[in-house]
Structure 1
Amino acid sequence: MLNIKKLIKKCKSYLVKKAIVVQSRAVAEKSIEIDVSLKNFISYAGISAVLTNGMETIDLPYQRVKKKLTIAILISHLSDDVNNYIVLSNAKQKFWLKLDEHIKEKVLYHVVGNKLFRLSVNKKVLVKNLLPEFSFSNELKIIKNLYTSYSELTAVLENMDLNIDSHEKMFALKHGEMKPLEIAMNKETSTFEVLDFNQLSQGDWRLIIAIGDTAYFLESKTQEEISLLTSNHQGVLKYINKNFYLSLDNYYLEIEAMKLKVNEDTIQLEVATDIQPDKFQYTFLIQDTKLNKEFVRPVERTNNGFKTEILLENILEGSTIKRFFLLKEDSEGKHFKYQFFIETAKIFKRRSFKVIYNSQEYVLRVYRRKDKSMGSIIVRKPKLRRLMKSVKDFRLSGFIGNLHVFKDCTFYLAVEDRNTLDIVEYPLTEENFEVSIAAEDLIKVKGKEKSILDFFITVKDAEGNTIRKDKIKYELADYRKDNYYESIKEKDEYGNKHYFLVTTTPFDNMKIETFTIPKGVNMLSNTAGKDPNVWLIGERYNTAQDNGIALFRWLRKNTTIDAYYVIEEDAEDYRVLKDMEYVLCFGSKEHFEIASRAKVLLGTHDLENLLPYKPAQGFFNYEDTIKVFLQHGVLGRKPVEYDKKNYELPFDLFIVSSEPEKYDVVMNKMGYNEEEVAVTGLARFDNLPKENHSKDILLMPTWRDWIHTDEQFLKSQYYNYYNNLINNERLQGILEEYNVNLNFYPHYRAQNFFAQDINEENSRIHFIRLGSKTVQQLLIDHALLITDFSSVSFDFTLMNKPVIYYHFDVNRFFKRGILRPVEETFLGKIAQNETDLVDMIEESIENNFKSFDIELDNIIKYQDRHNCQRIYQTVLSKLNKENEKNEG
């Protein structure tokens, strides 16, 4: 039987098509050629090779000689800041590429046209430009007089005269992974000192030095191996395949036996090892790389090893993987971090443990890695199964499961107001439940006249503490922004009418949208009452800083249109507008009446923000309005949520700034038709000055949509990176030296957190509170903008001022793709780490904030300050066409 299986497997190997990368090379400083061997191909007709970066695709030329393809890639076609992939297909069917098993280097490097490219093969060929901000030289930089000490490496660059104004940086490269190294440079002696190796992991690293705008691989004058010890690794500087490397290996402690015992609040760990009696100090380290936390526990030495007690709360926090290490400290204060080496898996007599903690049953699992080192403790959080199956007349049927993992707990279906967090709970006693939601309960819990109520399953322990709170999905969800599944209407004791509509989020989580029509409000009941001369304009509920307010002011000044602007009464921006005519308080009697009469609705966001009721078919003739999306930026970066498919009643008019934005983005990717998209330019661009009288810097990052809770925010890379930046001592010194201020204007969701982190006493870095100035005024008042992905950068560029982009998480931000090529949308310099960003800030200050030489026509067609006029004329044209259609 076994021989038959082997025979079948062998036969399959002769039938499956294979494409194997056997060689790559640089050609004439213009291109890279890749040789691909084809096996088991009956026909070679229809083979195609394409280069794609997720945004655009280019057909690649190739030559075939018998069973070998030679594919040529011009480096001018490779995008700098995103991944480039080479994909092969035959008759539209893609086939996998593999690297020839005889090639020792699994990642290939080529210097072509003064750029360093990495090639790796995994089903397709990935080509990436490393260090795109530097010109890469084929020349090697020779180092001599190489010395090492604990966590330090010192060397002299041979025949090197360094410019006193040049900047020197060092990087380490491993399998395409690039890490910056902190160095100190003595320019008089051409001596550099590497100060920190903690960013480097185990493996072989090539060293690169960047001097000014040029980068070089480092080469040693001697070929002797030189040892280096750091807190994390034992290393050797040596030659591998004729190239100079820093080879790092972990410290290992061999484990002969191990016992894990789970107690009520702790885990007792006892280890038998070959560790010898000595005078060193030992501690036990628990490391959580995801949460960026470390916990240290004391170690008790035993006759044949050591033991320690680990707090369960340290292990279970965040339900993330925890790694274990033994820390050794010598008499000089040098630290060494040891991993545990396990020769045989038999040491693990028991690998999984069930732990009752916080009234829930967690599963802990210890595993051994492929390199035989002890892996980690994997924490599996108890899973609460839940699903809403149907809703009829606000009687909800659903299911909760896996209840046995919760000990002495009670379960509830909860409805919570999103603003006030007030909550009403309905007890659940069985896995299959039915709950009737009373309108009276919803009236009591809602915090605003127009609000959103979310559904949760909550779990409480015996003392009544909430230990779990999970959103619940709707089985029959068919998400649209302007649809609903069920609705009820209830009049309260004061005669106000409360509407409640069951809807879902884009993730199919169930929610209730609610609004109230006050007693005495007269709403129009027929379409004929819609007045084409009444236009209602808004942005977010609580802002007046964008294209909405810019267009409103222009219409009031230049036309006879009855244009109204709506904003919440308690908004910061309302104070500026409250004395203006035609400004409405959100939810007021006048707001309801104007909303029911307005024929034209113009918003920078969803029209939820300017209507006091649900924008959906059947509500006060919403379907008979002209819906205009004014936008709040230039599209072309991250996909946005305004696709036509997301609406039952989509926008009738979509405002854009250029033909590429219209055709490539809004039509091709978002599904709108030609006549629904107008190239007019954004209204707020009309108010941008061309003169720059400032020398201050504005730091204004956008949000990350994967952060949902305060806890996630405080543990996020996003928070840590910006918190580190505003506390960067070198940045503080540069600002002080040049008498420049950096003003930090966080996204509105992050304001409260960063406000606490800035100490303005004796500081050049200041916090700007939301609403204290308009965004447009902030852009006008500054000479340099630092942002990450925000489209306000286009406003800044339009004012002929420089922008620096901070892209430390670019791959995650564009995980779902980017709408236009990087070079067309990020107009300025890009920093991917804090060191580079501070360097670029200093360079911009030294150059007196000189603007970059940028061509804007493909991004912003009109730069004549007549955008409001074009928007007005376009809406009038839409009204006239609808009128002609109705009369015809």
Structure 2
Amino acid sequence: AKNMICFINDKKVDIIYQEKRCTSYNISYEIKKLKKRRAKNKSLWLFADMPFRADDNAEHLYRYVMKNYPEKNIAFVLRKNSHDYKRLKKEGFKLVDPKSFKFKYLVFKADKLISSHIERYFFEALGENTLKTKDFVFLQHGITQNDLSSWLNQRKIDLFITGMQDEYDSIAGDFNRYKFTPKEVKLTGFPRWDALLKNNQINTKQIIIMPTWREYIVGSYSKKLMKRRFNPKFYESEYFYRWDSFLHSKKLQELHEKYDYKIVFSPHPQIRPYLEGFNLPNYIIIPSVEMSMQKLFCESSLMITDYSSVAFEMAVLKKPVIYYQFDKDELFAKHTYTQGYFDYNKDGFGIVVLDIDNLLYELKMKLQNHSFKNNFLTPKANSLEKVTQAILFI
């Protein structure tokens, strides 16, 4: 019931609330007003990357705010069993487990929820109206290179951070499918890019292989587990067959031995539960979950991916990419996005190949000619401060 009605000795009596006499009291309405008032008065910024992992834009921005705006009341959401928990705790991060009551309390108190991902555990922590009285800041996990309008238009986003001009124009410009405007969308660069550029290494002999995931070959999402269920049919997919064939190819091993390059395989987090089934050769390195993604980018000289936006990290570092796209039509028909402004053949940071033979050939050419320079993307400077200022002016 939304309204409260009082009876004394079976007789209905008036209610006096805030010096006003009434016959009933709308509890739901008053609670909503209370939530709004308390949330805005608290001025708490609540940050999050993924529930099980940090090491993304939210972590980098939190660290910057903690050091440069010590007067700000901030907290960071992370599971206690995360490999990042002790590291961030030691650094002075104020951490809260998303499974705890304190997390819901802080969501209730917060006036700004700041995240690199859009996850229901966060933006619906108090129900579907969680964001009604709060500002949601979407830092993004990577450059939006494909059309995510059908998904993002469903969300309340008060500040939408972008990293490059074409991306910004595709979301906030005229004649696109997004509901967002220049009021919400800001071109600042990503918080993690400041550190990425600072820690870059050149002339390294390491190749990073980072394919993205496919929604239609992994399990369905479990709210209880806060992750996707395991799908044993994954190993019957073309995705598994193609990448497994490449990783087990004799030619790849020959290139590794001839040119003395480390080969690192680090697929999307949604693919990690299936790594055991790849049964990779000993010379291929699988980085631990504790390994920083930024460290992998900085220490690598070349990336092999399919459609992943991590390619932009290499472009920021002026390092080339080879795109292995064997399932383009199926991906854009079944995955969580459709093709957007970004044309991999025209706009990409390296050549696009469709089969394993061409992939191995292009890799050989790169190693043989030592052609690792790239001039595709010049990131915005001082992204951390620009993002912070954008949040302050919401």
Q: For the superposition of Structure 1 and Structure 2, which TM-score range results when normalised by the shorter chain? A: 0.7 to 0.9
SS in 2 for 1:814: helix
Q: For residue 275 of structure 2, what is the amino acid of its counterpart?
A: F
What residue number does 2:286 align with? 767
Say if 1:800 and 1:549 are closer, same or farther in 2 by CA, change over 3 A.
Answer: same
SS in 2 for 1:743: strand
Q: Deviations over 1:815-851 (max 9, x none)?
A: 3741114156422111211111111111111233522
Separation in 2, partners of 1:743, 1:855: 24
Partner of 1:529: 38
Find out whether 1:802 has 2:311 as its counterpart: no
Q: Where do residues 306-705 of structure 1 align in structure 2 (5 Å cutoff)?
A: 525-530=34-39, 531=41, 533-559=43-69, 560-579=71-90, 580-610=92-122, 613-617=125-129, 619=130, 622-639=131-148, 642-644=151-153, 646-647=154-155, 650-667=156-173, 668-689=176-197, 690-705=200-215
Shift of 1:604: 1.2
**Quick one: distance in 1 between partners of 2:235 and 2:275?**
10
Query: 2:93, 2:275 → 1: CA distance?
Result: 36
Measure how far apart 1:544 and its partner are: 0.2
CA offset at residue 532 of structure 1?
Answer: 5.8
Q: Rg larger in 1 or in 2?
A: 1
Q: CA deviation at 1:612?
A: 7.8
Match of 1:850 among 358, 372, 379: 372
Residue in 1 that maps onto 2:257 = 736
State the distance in 2 between where 1:720 and 1:874 align.
45
Aligned residue identity for 2:187 = V
Q: How far apart in 1 are the matches of 2:246 and 2:75?
A: 42
Q: 1:684-730 CA distances to partner (integer Å, 9 max, x unpaired)?
A: 11111343252111111000122144243111110000100110001
Task: Report how far residue 631 of structure 1 moved.
Answer: 0.5
Tell me the distance in 2 between the aligned counterparts of 1:825 and 1:633: 16
Matched-pair contact (CA < 8 Å) for 1:637–1:789? no
Change (3 A) 1:611 1:817: closer
2:302–2:372 contact (8 Å) kept in structure 1 = no
Return the match for 2:278 from 748, 757, 765.
Answer: 757
1:817 and 1:636 map into 2 onto residues whose CA distance is 10
TM-score, normalised relative to structure 1:
0.37
Q: Secondary structure at the match of 2:96?
A: strand
Shift of 1:669: 2.1
The residue correspondences of 1:130-209 to structure 2 (distance < 5 A) are: none
Q: Which has the higher contact order (CA 8 A, sep 6+)?
A: 2
Q: Is the 8 A contact 2:79 2:97 kept in 1?
A: yes
CA 1:693/1:584 → structure 2, altered by over 3 Å: closer, same or farther? farther
Q: Is the 8 A contact 1:806 1:831 kept in 2?
A: yes
Aligned to 1:742, what secondary structure does the other structure show?
strand
The TM-score normalised by the length of structure 2 is 0.80
The 5 Å alignment of 1:767-846 reads: 767-769=286-288, 771-815=289-333, 817-822=338-343, 823=345, 825-846=347-368
Match of 1:521 in 2: none
Tell me how far apart the structure 2 counterparts of residues 684 and 873 of structure 1 sit (CA, whole Å): 16
**Equivalent position of 2:25 in the other structure:** none
Question: Which runs of 5 or more structure 2 residues have no equivalent in the other structure?
Answer: 2-32, 220-230
SS, match of residue 526 in structure 1: helix
The one-letter code of the counterpart of 1:546 is D
Gaps of 5+ in 1: 1-392, 394-523, 879-888
* Equivalent of 1:717 in 238, 256, 273: 238
Q: Alpha-carbon deviation of 1:536?
A: 0.3
Amino acid at match of 1:786: I
* Amino acid across the alignment from 2:305: T
Tell me the alpha carbon deviations over residues 360-382 of structure 1, each in whole angstroms, 9 at most, x when there is no partner: xxxxxxxxxxxxxxxxxxxxxxx
Give distance in 1, aligned partners of 2:60 and 2:68: 12
Give deviations 1:858-879, integer Å, cap 9, x for gaps.
Answer: xx5x1x2x1111111111111x
Residue type at the aligned position of 2:326: F
The question of whether the paired residues in 1 share the 8 Å contact of 2:161 and 2:190 is answered with yes
Change (3 A) 1:613 1:774: same
Once residues 615 and 851 of structure 1 are traced to their aligned partners in structure 2, the CA distance between those partners, rounded to angstroms, is 49
Alignment partners' CA distance in 1, 2:236 and 2:62: 41
1:56-75 correspondence to structure 2 within 5 Å: none
CA deviations 1:716-745 (Å, max 9, x no partner) are 110000100110001101101111121111
Higher strand share: 1
Q: Give the number of aligned pairs.
A: 342
The one-letter code sitting in structure 2 at the alignment partner of 1:872 is: T
Query: Which of 724, 729, 747 is equivalent to 2:268?
Result: 747
Give CA deviations for 1:450-481 in whole Å, capped at 9, x if unaligned: xxxxxxxxxxxxxxxxxxxxxxxxxxxxxxxx
Secondary structure at the aligned position of 2:215 is classed as: coil
- The one-letter amino acid paired with 2:182 is E
Distance 1:533 1:824 in 2: 45
Alpha-carbon distance in structure 2 between the residues aligned to 1:721 and 1:765 = 16
Tell me how far apart the structure 1 counterparts of residues 42 and 301 of structure 2 sit (CA, whole Å). 43
Q: Is the 8 A contact 1:595 1:612 kept in 2?
A: no
Distance in 2 (CA, whole Å) between partners of 1:680 and 1:759 is 40
Amino acid at match of 1:814: F
Q: Is the 8 A contact 2:320 2:373 kept in 1?
A: yes
Distance 1:817 1:581 in 2: 37
1:869 paired to 2:385: yes
Query: What secondary structure, in the 3-state scheme, does the structure 1 residue paired with 2:322 have?
Result: strand
Structure richer in helix, relative to its length: 2
**Does the Cα contact within 8 Å between 1:656 and 1:679 map onto a contact in 2?**
yes
CA contact (8 A) 1:535 1:564 kept: yes
- Superimposed CA distance per residue, residues 623-648 of structure 1 (whole angstroms, 9 cap, x where no aligned partner): 1111111111111225366422x13x
For 1:545, the aligned partner's letter is D
Tell me if structure 2 keeps the 8 A contact 1:608–1:615.
Answer: no
Amino acid at match of 1:557: K
Contact 2:144 2:167 in 1 (8 A): yes
- Rate the CA distance shift 1:778–1:638 in 2: closer, same or farther, 3 A: farther
User: Quick one: structure 1 residues 812 and 578, their matched pair in 2 at CA, closer, same or farther if it must change by over 3 Å?
Assistant: same
Cα displacement (A) at 1:538: 0.3
Q: Distance in 1 between matches of 2:106 and 2:244?
A: 45
Would you say the 8 A contact 2:75–2:95 is kept in 1?
A: yes
CA distance in 2, matches of 1:809, 1:743: 23
